[in-house]
Amino acid sequence: MNSYIFKFSIIAFIFFSFSSCKNQENETVKAPEENNKETKKSYFDNYMEEIAEIEERDSVSTAGMLKIEGGQYKMGGNSKQARRDEFPQHTETIKGLWVDKTEVTNAEFREFVDATGYVTTAERSFEINGKTYPPGAMTFDPDNPQRWWKFKKGANWKHPQGPGSSIEGKENHPVVQVSWYDAMAYAKWAGKRLPTEAEFEYLARGGKENQIYHWGNDFKKATEFVNFHQGEFPINNEIKDGFEDTAPVKSLPANGFGLYEISGNTWEWVLDTYYPNAYTRLAQRTDGYFKEYFNNKQQKVIRGGSFLCSESYCSGYRNAARMSSTPESGLEHLGFRCVKDLE
């Protein structure tokens, strides 16, 4: 791996990685400064160059994927829980594509790491003002109401809650503690890509119009269809859905398209840069999504909600719900799935 690639700013990481399901609409995230004085390349440019060097695996197939026909749908908020950044509702046209049936699992991500030697963002040390900080990522602490998320040294995809935790026996759980860059790297190797935000909502809705959740509008049925937090958040998790944190993929019924855990379980990275007013600046998109990857509010959209979302707090598993995090962030409830364009 290229040694000049430093990890993200610890300030951005600690203070701007979103806290559970908090709405970040009014937050401002500072872009990492150029960290290579000789080449004048940004952190983003350096990382994207590294990802571009990853060789696609020898055999790229659509095994484990579904072919989804394209179509039109109404994108955006359609419930009382909807936030300002989910408006205005507008019509989106989606092309047909192949979609992973499930979130990328620990076993699948390990195959990628073993094949390429890739080192994730959370496994790299980083430097600020001449001081070197150890590898690590953010973990959730429900006992600290002042700061639910804390940086833990040694936390990464193999140790999601930090040293002492393990993914042993969780090969079929979604991989977490992976940054947007890590997800992009895996997708490059797999011969796929991340979905756009518009594609993700289309896929989450499962071909059903105007529903709040992928199973319908009745929240009372939620525990039958989604892994989320029940009870008083975050101190009392009643675990009525049977899962305290991540669930193995295919644990819950698929949506109308046949996609598993596209709501709840883990948030999922998408391609788009996050803008609170994204739906009012659609004319600035290219090829269906915002290609302005690097900007002075560097955040990426995340979709789908997670096991930490609750109906009273954020209902991130709603079809229209959108959040964001800095692309360098590793979080124990954030993963991804891939799509592949039809040939």
And the tokens for 281? 């600046």
Indicate if the pLDDT at residue 6 is higher than 80. Answer: no
The answer to whether the CB of 214 falls within 8 A of the CB of 255 is yes
Please state whether beta strands 131-133 and 126-128 pair in parallel, antiparallel, or not at all (unpaired).
Answer: antiparallel
DSSP three-state, residue 219: helix
Q: How do residues 124-164 score in pLDDT, each as one tens digit? A: 987 656 677 789 999 988 776 567 888 899 999 999 999 99
The stretch 209-222 carries a mean pLDDT of 94
The stretch 320-338 carries a mean pLDDT of 95
The stretch 31-38 carries a mean pLDDT of 44
Q: What is the pLDDT of residue 123?
A: 97
For the chain, the farthest-separated pair of C-alpha atoms sits apart, in whole angstroms, at: 58
**297 confidence band (pLDDT: 50, 70, 90):** low
Please state whether beta strands 90-94 and 71-75 pair in parallel, antiparallel, or not at all (unpaired).
Answer: antiparallel
Mean pLDDT is lowest, of 4-13, 25-34, 261-270, 275-284, for 4-13
Indicate if the pLDDT at residue 15 is higher than 60. Answer: no
| Whole-number average pLDDT of the chain | 85
**2 confidence band (pLDDT: 50, 70, 90):** very low
For residue 298, report the phi and psi dihedrals to the nearest 5 degrees.
-60, 100
Q: What is the pLDDT of residue 311?
A: 84
Indicate if the pLDDT at residue 29 is higher than 70. Answer: no
**5 confidence band (pLDDT: 50, 70, 90):** very low
Distances (CA, A) of 165 to 4, 156, 201, 245: 30, 10, 33, 13
pTM of the model: 0.87
The stretch 304-331 carries a mean pLDDT of 92
**7 confidence band (pLDDT: 50, 70, 90):** very low
**284 confidence band (pLDDT: 50, 70, 90):** confident
Distances (CA, A) of 39 to 5, 53, 296, 328: 12, 18, 20, 21
d(CA 305, CA 285): 25
- Among 20-29, 40-49, 99-108, the range of highest mean pLDDT: 99-108
Q: Which residues pair with 228 in a beta bridge?
A: none
Q: Which residue has the higher pLDDT, 239 or 121?
A: 121
Q: What is the dihedral of CA 125, 167, 305, 323, to 10 degrees?
A: 10
Q: How do residues 236-281 score in pLDDT, each as one tens digit? A: 777 888 888 999 999 999 999 999 999 999 999 999 999 899 999 8
Q: What is the pLDDT of residue 233?
A: 73
Query: What is 10-48+63-341's CATH number, 3.90.1580.10, 3.20.20.150, 3.40.50.1010, 3.30.420.10?
Result: 3.90.1580.10
The stretch 170-177 carries a mean pLDDT of 98
